[in-house]
Amino acid sequence: MELPSFLESGDIARLFPVISETGKEQRATSILLSVLSAVPTYADALFSQIGQSISKRTSVDTYTEVVFRKEGVSQSKDRPDGLVQIKTGKRQWNALVEAKIGKQGLDQDQIEKYLRIARDNSIDAVVTISNEFAALPTHHPIQVQRNLTRRVSLYHFSWSSVLTEAILLHDSSAVTDREQAFMLRELVRFLSHKSAGVEGFSSMPSEWSGAIDQLQAGGAVQPRGLGSKIVGAWYQEIRDVSLQMSRIIGCNISLKLPRKHKNNPEARFRDDLERLCAKGYLETNLSIPDAASDLKIVADLRSRSLRISMKVDAPRDRQSTKARVNWLLRQMKDVDHGHVSVSLDWASKSPDTVVALQDLKANPDLVKEMKVGAEVKAFEIVLRNESARRFSGRQTFVQELERLAPLFYELIGQNLQTWNPSPPKPKHSVKTEKNSEEHQGEIEDSKPVKSASHQSSTLESEQRNSGNQHDDLLEVPDFLNRLKTNISAS
């Protein structure tokens, strides 16, 4: 394989790299890049997230141990771990790859050096991979000098997201080639083993417990330092939760971000930090394909409570509140959990009414005593944590969130249905008796001449079916077959 013109030397990424035992980082990077080069469907699943689609005409070439031709650069001690070159016809896209594994975190100075190398060699992007999380590949966990990303794009994937994409492709049987499917399965096996160094988020920062105590005492969290660390950790955890749920449910579950936050991660951080400091809570929404609504997660530091919820509109074709409540309860007939509640959202300006699900199931008539003349327009079903003490722990908070979110979806979310109105019915029928008489002659004249036997068969059919005709059914129902038999017998 011919090396890119800007490289002095480099090795093709190997599926079985010959590397020293201490080179876990280089080994994981080489294996990943090799699979990306050999499995186009997997490469497309990752690179399409950063605007690089992989088609049948596309080739993906990957290299490790790259050294650049430009003077001064090749002597740098900070060599990137790899290079990806995507070619479709005459179009080329190149990206440097820098990976960290295990507890190692990305280094700002090192990333900025690679951005300069990329700029000097007309390379399009720098892609980092580590156990740190980002809401989107375009949101980088490390802030760098803005002038360095004017000509070079900076992207980030967590190892967990790399693993999740491989699992989803494997489970969906999207890779049909036998050898490619084998390689993808082996990549999943490798990255899933603890020796590979792929880790999830496991602990909130050391300031977590202190911030909770401060808020409960009536104080406030300061934006700088304490607040920033908590919001940053929250971002890491909720992205990890979304990836875990993707693997559990078997589809891609993403963070639901407004457009202004998708395009501006700094605005997202600023808004969430302001919410934490002013109101004492953090929240996010997860988008689940084909689910009744987004899954909402709220962590309230003042009350030390976790709330996982989904909201659905009440059916407008039911007139009474009790009928609307019963519509909801039928969807949760198998839910038996003491920490699930239902919040009724009224059409009036009255505050929501919260009722324990168990109480509502035991006595649906409770709603009659809630509002007189008010109409319930929506329901929010909420699952709360059982222990405030576990909320305060740095590790137990993470464990509790990662337990409750998938539990809510398994118990409740997958069974919730959205209400859709019935299609409108015509107020005036076009099948009037007058029209039938006027057009009867035209219809008779337009019919083709049929044989006597066919006319006899048609006559018998018309006599049998004095109501709706069933000749257009693809399958004749059993009760019609029985009806035909009875008529013939008589």
What percentage of the chain reaches a pLDDT higher than 70?
A: 85
For residues 312 and 292, the answer to whether their CB atoms sit within 8 Å is yes
pTM score, whole prediction: 0.82
pLDDT, tens digit (0-9, with 9 covering 90-100), for 301-336: 999 999 999 999 999 888 888 889 999 999 999 998
For residue range 10-68, list pLDDT tens digits in order. Answer: 899 999 998 887 789 999 999 999 999 999 999 999 999 999 999 999 999 999 989 88
Give the pLDDT confidence of 232-277 residue by residue, as tens digits.
Answer: 999 999 999 999 999 999 999 999 999 999 999 999 999 999 999 9
CB atoms within 10 A of CB 58: 18
With CA atoms as reference, report the closest residue to 303 among 431, 435, 391. 391
Question: Could you please report the per-residue DSSP string of 233-255?
Answer: HHHHHHHHHHHHHHHHHTS--EE
Q: What is the pLDDT of residues 169-221, one digit of tens each?
A: 999 999 999 999 999 999 999 999 999 999 999 999 999 999 999 998 888 88
> How far is Cα 484 from Cα 32, in angstroms, rounded to an integer?
66
- Residue 66 Rama label (left phi>0; alpha psi -120 to 50; beta): beta
In a 10 Å sphere around its CB, with 0-12 CB exposed, 13-18 middle and 19+ buried, how is residue 87 labelled?
middle
Q: How far apart are CA 272 and CA 231, in angstroms?
A: 7
Residue 223 CA to residue 261 CA, distance in Å, equals 19
Nearest CA among 22, 25, 59 for reference residue 43: 59
State the pLDDT at residue 72: 54
How many angstroms separate the CA atoms of 140 and 162, rounded?
A: 15
**Length of the chain counted residue by residue:** 490
Q: 288 is written with which tokens?
A: 């689940």
What does the alpha-carbon distance between residue 129 and residue 50 come to, in Å, rounded to a whole number? 14
DSSP states of 8-31 as a string? EEEEEPPSS----TT-HHHHHHHH
Rounded CA-CA distance 296/315 in Å is: 21
